Structure 1
């Protein structure tokens, strides 16, 4: 039997419903002479049985006993097992067009490249029409800092002997996929772009708690459209153009170096793989929490400041989350300053959840500006989340752009409410006081 022309490596962890769809998109490739290596990163769900149900001799399942928490270990194992001259990667929640691998191989032959990649459409969180496109460099001139998602990439297997394998995320100051790409670039490997969009991604890091919710409805819909619509790619490009016209096109920021392991930790937090863990002393007295914090997942806009305080607008998502480091010892008094609202309807229909429990706040005019929301939070609710953490969720029915409401040509963001200072205070019931100092048990 001849060797496969491409070895496809799929790292996966406990998301069998998504894996099923990504595998369908690989099985449907017009390039048939391939092998598919699915590497379970310590999976404890039914991923293995999902893989074996395909009953395809090209598909292999490899189980790693310990969960590494990153694509690096399963990718390296997949490369080690690969029989082909070329390695292609597919995220377990990403989808390929049937022509993806064939297009990559054609480009490789034409340009004799080491590192070949396609264009990709990225889809924003479920309650938005946000789109982005990567992998199509302007004027086909690739810059060193242009991020190339792994699910678009095929490279020569022997490149690993020159640049090394995927690194432990705790040892690098970039996301591991970006660090791998930079190493290939800096070593002088030849990069080539297909110039075609053949990969599609719903980034888990753009959608908070995606690994807890594990919703694959959008991937399923996309796969069905791909199978039934002969103009599928053209129609998806039209949707991207619509997002550009509606100012919902996301331009990716340049990835900046950070402390080793930072990106790994942040991504696990956003995806819901780990609970918030706050460094330093956790307050148990009165806490003034400002919005001068890192915010992610299309939930908050950039930090702003008026003459009184820092604030952030919620949006473009209709749900925005913030984690407050606090030691809950009793019922709480919480006060939230809403500095602005995009309109009265948004303010009147604002819902606030604490640790996923809906809480009714009393609203009054703030002495300086906007509105002050006040509520007493029961101990059982305030203490229902992760240790030393209170999770606040701000939900509005819809976000709006000032451009559409007031014809302001300078502000085309999608906004909900602007959140300023948040004050938290234990009420210190006598019983909780005794518990704290271990006078009763």
Structure 2
């Protein structure tokens, strides 16, 4: 029996019910200048048309496997991929991320030049649309990796042997911080040699920074990025590096580091992460409240991606929270919209005069007409009527309230004070009452 020779790379793509993003990710793999790879697409118990998307490419290098049960994160699909992998080197790509055409070539050259067990490519992470936020990973100060220098799986490559040495990936109940962090740290603890390509070749559109990304399934960012790579990849790389430099100059470049002393289990944040990005439904609709009388929701430090800053106190000791740095900020309220309601937001302040007048409210994705008036104690009251028949069918509980501002601003640029945060509206309590 003649077996095909083992490829240089085994590329593992873990996916879950987002076939439109998967199509673009796979295209960025198939358009690599390095052609010697197998592409293992592992569904985490997918129930959509992901298999059909994989087979539509008609490329013999693609293999599709769908797990019989859902693992809830990439650790299960990645281990399945590792058990099948024949390549000398293993690469991973998130199903909503993209590679530049030279990604695998740069990695192979780095492995051959350094003899490393683990290689990191430079990755550009995009904050929520309209935020201007960026992050860059894949550089090690003095060329020395420590567990503080996290980089995402889409920029991770390693020898097949080191994965065997550390026993593959472990789930969130065993992992520290996150399953991807745990895998990298265990490679480090096993004595793996790390190296970096020093080249930007990964574009990450982090679903954990995009509320309900798995429900909205918007691939506009990925589609635009892939089109630009196809038109002129070098020009696109230069433009995106420039956006990262601009972000650094505007206090929009995020620092991604892991505290060296952390002992948090990955399971602690896994459910919050899944709920925020919408890959798994959080909460029980039966826990939602029927609004028979006014219900006031105080300001809370709920999970918010980059939609809100931390809670602050005004001069009277009342809590409020600035929106920003993203221009869209949401709050999930556990109420049933089964009757006409009045919604009132306490707007403590606006970073720039007139910003509130240009801002908008939406409920469960549907725009609502809102009015504002000065409040007796200062600030404004922002009100809107909500009717059940105006909301999208099947999305009436809980209520997702979203405010959108045309832009956020830094107080230092407005000569207010030395605050360099990007701010929009300061919101205190939110009240809902029957009408």
Please confirm whether the aligned pair reaches a TM-score higher than 0.5, indicating the same fold.
yes
Equivalent runs, 1:375-386 vs 2, <5 Å: 375=384, 377-378=386-387
Tell whether the 8 Å contact from 2:338 to 2:396 is kept in structure 1 after alignment. Answer: no
1:417 to 402, 422, 425: 425
Once the two structures are superposed, residues 142-176 of structure 1 have per-residue CA deviations (whole angstroms, 9 ceiling, x without a partner) of 23122110011111222233222222234545221
Shift of 1:345: 2.3
Q: Quick check: 323-332 or 130-139, which moved more? A: 323-332
Report the 3-state secondary structure (helix = DSSP H, G, I; strand = E; otherwise coil) of the residue aligned with 1:62: strand
CA 1:251–1:66 in structure 2 vs 1: closer, same or farther (change >3 Å)?
Answer: same
Equivalent runs, 1:39-438 vs 2, <5 Å: 39-172=42-175, 174-229=177-232, 230-252=234-256, 254=258, 257-258=263-264, 261-277=267-283, 286-308=294-316, 309-326=318-335, 331-375=340-384, 377-378=386-387, 389-404=398-413, 406-408=414-416, 410-425=418-433
Shift of 1:331: 4.6
Tell whether the 8 Å contact from 2:149 to 2:257 is kept in structure 1 after alignment. Answer: no
Residue 33 of structure 1 pairs with residue 36 of structure 2? yes
Tell whether the 8 Å contact from 1:170 to 1:261 is kept in structure 2 after alignment. Answer: yes
Report the 3-state secondary structure (helix = DSSP H, G, I; strand = E; otherwise coil) of the residue aligned with 1:240: helix
Paired with 1:155 and 1:286, the residues of 2 have a C-alpha distance of: 57
Q: How many residues align?
A: 426
Tell whether the 8 Å contact from 2:118 to 2:195 is kept in structure 1 after alignment. Answer: yes
Report the 3-state secondary structure (helix = DSSP H, G, I; strand = E; otherwise coil) of the residue aligned with 1:358: strand
Shift of 1:268: 1.5
Shift of 1:135: 1.0
Shift of 1:354: 2.7
Shift of 1:381: 6.5
Q: Quick check: 271-280 or 158-167, which moved more? A: 271-280
2:6 to 3, 10, 31: 3
Paired with 2:427 and 2:394, the residues of 1 have a C-alpha distance of: 21
Paired with 1:327 and 1:221, the residues of 2 have a C-alpha distance of: 38
CA 1:11–1:260 in structure 2 vs 1: closer, same or farther (change >3 Å)?
Answer: closer
Tell whether the 8 Å contact from 1:163 to 1:184 is kept in structure 2 after alignment. Answer: yes
Report the 3-state secondary structure (helix = DSSP H, G, I; strand = E; otherwise coil) of the residue aligned with 2:399: strand
Once the two structures are superposed, residues 191-237 of structure 1 have per-residue CA deviations (whole angstroms, 9 ceiling, x without a partner) of 22122211111111111121122222222222222233243323321
CA 1:33–1:362 in structure 2 vs 1: closer, same or farther (change >3 Å)?
Answer: closer
Shift of 1:327: 6.0
Shift of 1:7: 0.7
Once the two structures are superposed, residues 280-314 of structure 1 have per-residue CA deviations (whole angstroms, 9 ceiling, x without a partner) of 98666654322231232221122211123111111
Tell whether the 8 Å contact from 1:276 to 1:323 is kept in structure 2 after alignment. Answer: no
Paired with 1:24 and 1:355, the residues of 2 have a C-alpha distance of: 33
Paired with 2:32 and 2:143, the residues of 1 have a C-alpha distance of: 26
CA 1:260–1:97 in structure 2 vs 1: closer, same or farther (change >3 Å)?
Answer: closer
TM-score, structure 1 normalization: 0.87
Once the two structures are superposed, residues 316-362 of structure 1 have per-residue CA deviations (whole angstroms, 9 ceiling, x without a partner) of 22211011234667554443210001223211122222333434445
Report the 3-state secondary structure (helix = DSSP H, G, I; strand = E; otherwise coil) of the residue aligned with 1:196: strand
Tell whether the 8 Å contact from 2:361 to 2:402 is kept in structure 1 after alignment. Answer: yes
Paired with 1:334 and 1:253, the residues of 2 have a C-alpha distance of: 39
Paired with 1:73 and 1:332, the residues of 2 have a C-alpha distance of: 44
CA 1:282–1:37 in structure 2 vs 1: closer, same or farther (change >3 Å)?
Answer: closer
Unaligned runs of 5+ in 1: 428-441
Unaligned runs of 5+ in 2: none
Partner of residue 432, structure 1: none
Q: Quick check: 171-180 or 98-107, which moved more? A: 171-180
